[in-house]
Structure 1
Amino acid sequence: MPTDNNADGHHLLVLQHGLWGNIGHVRFIAEQFKQRLGGRILVYRARANESGFTYDGVDICGHRVVQEIYSVIKVIETGGSIEEMKGQKLNKHKGKKNIQPDDFEARSTTKKVIQFSYLGYSLGGLIGRFAMGMLDLDGFFDQVEQGGRGEQLQLVDDYIGGKPILLVISESSCVFIHALARFKRRVLYCNIRNDLAVPFWTASFSDADPFRKLDSMEM
């Protein structure tokens, strides 16, 4: 979310892992941000969708991330420390309580979250796109179905009006694209090697089609 730097405010970065992932998968990224930017940014590794919970679908996981973001911001803005949220769990299971600001020791000084960034890899990027749309509907940027959904990655689900969810969140007229426009920088990356689940040729965007002359390629 583009905002001028303010000494009285925080910049919050939320990191989201991918399919069947956990917060350990984004530890290196978090450490790099902390080493390079120090106190200029608060880094939070989203944990509400760890492991098998990613199979609940882009929409369900997106709603969880929205809830988690609001909880994290409440902790920050009431003077708490997000480092103390380690080991806490959001309401993924029945009977588990939501994180509340009162769960953390208050600090003498508090600051508002005035800048917000989100980084997710693989399925985490799709979860983030949905979550940003929900936040936009809530007016977040102005201030600063149940069951298994594995078929969503195959574009064979019926999310709304006969359209799969990945098509819905990519349409230029929808709130999900509108939410992306709120961010000053939008970056997509893909791994050149060592990603067996989502290889380069299916994860990348390109103006050129390397497979247009497939018959002439030596494979």
Structure 2
Amino acid sequence: MDYSGGSINADHLCVVVHGLWGNPNHMKTVAKTLRDAYSDDELYILLAKRNSGSSTYDGIERGGERVCEEIQEEIKKIRANGGNITKLSVVGYSLGGLVSRYAVGLLHAKGVLDELRPMNFTTFASPHLGVRSPLRGWHNHVWNVLGARTLSMSGRQLFTIDNFRDTGKALLSIMADPDSIFMEGLARFKRKTLYANIAHDRSVPYYTACIAKTDPYRNLEKVKFNYVPGYEDVVLDPINPVRPSLKPDGMTLESFTNNSLWYLKNAPKITLIAVLVPIAIIGFLINSVIQNSRSSKRIKLYESGLAGIEPGKYRVPVMMQELRQRVEGAYEDINNSQHQEYLASSDDENEREMNERDRKTLARERRMSHPQWPTLALAPYQFDMINQLDSLGWHKYPVYLRKNHHTHAAIIVRMEKPSFVEGYTVMKHWIQEEFLM
């Protein structure tokens, strides 16, 4: 069933944007949740589709331009049919959250938001700080080289090694600058909400989805959870999500027995994974070479105006004022599948190579580090992004999904699977507690 569209009586347009490698069908449950709550006469739903599949390799900028054009064309079509959209909401999933933030900046710069009331901006499992894992040392360089170059332009932007329009800064840093069109556009939305998986999200770690400097969920055995009343066992209290557990540290006889039984039960599966993973990695790298080549050709067609869109219409100045001091010597980034590390108590070799501003940033974060939840070893520019994005006043909801370890898909019920059922609780919370009409 198609849940998109609406009647000419609807005055509220909600735009839904899928993620990397995605398509509009991935957002079916999100659209159904909206439609079950609001009729065609109340809400008009647009499932963005021009950035589907491998087109998501082409970068956040081009994805945002495509979505911006879709929104403008949809509003124009609705008005031509006698409707009148006066309110706008945007929902982004995974990479779609970043694409949506870019599109919002363009809508703001082009004056579209002056004609509408920006209502809700929501992201589910979106990497607002990129996908750099908090690591220190040579791992940064090794994993960054591999990770950032397997997803064409989107990979470079997600790992923040791009130089956006020769500014000396990565696109995600620009998008978090208070003077940018992206921050000014986002600030106009009445409510800004995000949902972040605390565990088993293999694509987007908690800290970047929740715009956080700490990760209290590193060891789930050491914390007790506080849930939002009515959404127990899934949606955590945004103000006080966890408290220390009174369980003793170390390996107990019970935990040792449970772990041993688990390994015995899953030994065949572990062996199979050990054989198949290297094969899968080789296949992924081969596919990455193919997709990077295709993406490069699409980008050339796009930039020449031969892909059905005129990029010149959207290349507006991204800063309302002069760019602030350029970030120098920022860490290169790495694949987010690595184990997180925390800030050291003193400078290491990498920090001695930083400029003075970045060393002061890390020193400040060390002083402010929570004794129980130590600060993650993020790069200085990521700390800046957190402080700047937090100024917008987000409603942040950690989410704990247990029934399926593919939580990145389960959080929005990307497909109908019994083990994704907890995602419906997330959808229920969003539509009943957060979404404003």
TM over 0.5: yes
Q: Provide the residue aligned with 1:159 in structure 2.
A: 164
2:202 pairs, out of 193, 196, 204, with: 196
Q: CA deviation at 1:114?
A: 0.2
Distance 1:21 1:209 in 2: 28
Distance 1:126 1:66 in 2: 13
Q: Provide the residue aligned with 2:62 in structure 1.
A: 60
Q: Provide the residue aligned with 2:97 in structure 1.
A: 125
Distance 2:184 2:161 in 1: 25
SS of equivalent to 2:195: coil
Q: How does 1:173-184 map to 2 (within 5 A)?
A: 173-184=179-190
Distance 1:37 1:30 in 2: 10
Kept in 2: contact 1:17–1:25 (CA 8 A):
yes
Q: CA deviation at 1:215?
A: 11
Distance 1:214 1:54, change over 3 A: farther
The alignment status of 1:168 with 2:174, answered yes or no, reads yes
Kept in 1: contact 2:215–2:373 (CA 8 A):
no
2:51 pairs, out of 41, 44, 49, with: 49
Kept in 2: contact 1:46–1:68 (CA 8 A):
yes
Q: Which contiguous aligned blocks of 4+ residues in structure 1 show a shift greater than 6 angstroms? A: 213-216
Distance 1:115 1:171 in 2: 26
Kept in 1: contact 2:68–2:107 (CA 8 A):
yes
Identity of matched residues, %: 36
Q: Give me the CA root mean square deviation.
A: 2.4
1:187 pairs, out of 174, 187, 193, with: 193
SS of equivalent to 2:39: helix
The alignment status of 1:18 with 2:19, answered yes or no, reads yes
Distance 2:10 2:26 in 1: 28
Aligned residues: 178
Kept in 2: contact 1:17–1:23 (CA 8 A):
yes
Kept in 2: contact 1:152–1:164 (CA 8 A):
yes
Kept in 2: contact 1:11–1:42 (CA 8 A):
yes
SS of equivalent to 1:18: coil
Distance 2:66 2:38 in 1: 28
Q: Provide the residue aligned with 2:85 in structure 1.
A: 113
SS of equivalent to 2:100: helix
Tell me, which stretches of 5 or more residues in structure 1 are unaligned? Answer: 1-6, 80-109
The alignment status of 1:34 with 2:49, answered yes or no, reads no
- Tell me the alpha carbon deviations over residues 106-153 of structure 1, each in whole angstroms, 9 at most, x when there is no partner: xxxx22110001000111111111111111111101123xx9412110
Q: CA deviation at 1:208?
A: 5.1
SS of equivalent to 1:113: coil
- Tell me the alpha carbon deviations over residues 81-105 of structure 1, each in whole angstroms, 9 at most, x when there is no partner: xxxxxxxxxxxxxxxxxxxxxxxxx
Q: Provide the residue aligned with 1:94 in structure 2.
A: none
Compute the TM-score of the two structures, normalised by the length of structure 2.
0.38
Kept in 1: contact 2:206–2:215 (CA 8 A):
no
Q: CA deviation at 1:200?
A: 2.2
Distance 1:17 1:173 in 2: 27
Kept in 2: contact 1:122–1:198 (CA 8 A):
yes
Distance 2:190 2:110 in 1: 20
- Tell me the alpha carbon deviations over residues 39-65 of structure 1, each in whole angstroms, 9 at most, x when there is no partner: 311111100100111110010111101
Distance 1:202 1:184, change over 3 A: closer
Distance 1:41 1:194 in 2: 34
Q: Which has the larger radius of gyration?
A: 2
Kept in 1: contact 2:17–2:91 (CA 8 A):
yes
Compute the TM-score of the two structures, normalised by the length of structure 1.
0.74
Distance 2:9 2:25 in 1: 31
SS of equivalent to 1:120: strand
Q: Which is helix-richer, 1 or 2?
A: 2
Tell me, which stretches of 5 or more residues in structure 2 are unaligned? Answer: 1-7, 117-150, 217-341, 343-368, 375-437
- Tell me the alpha carbon deviations over residues 169-204 of structure 1, each in whole angstroms, 9 at most, x when there is no partner: 001111110001111111111123453211324422
2:71 pairs, out of 45, 69, 72, with: 69
Kept in 2: contact 1:9–1:114 (CA 8 A):
no
Distance 1:158 1:113, change over 3 A: same
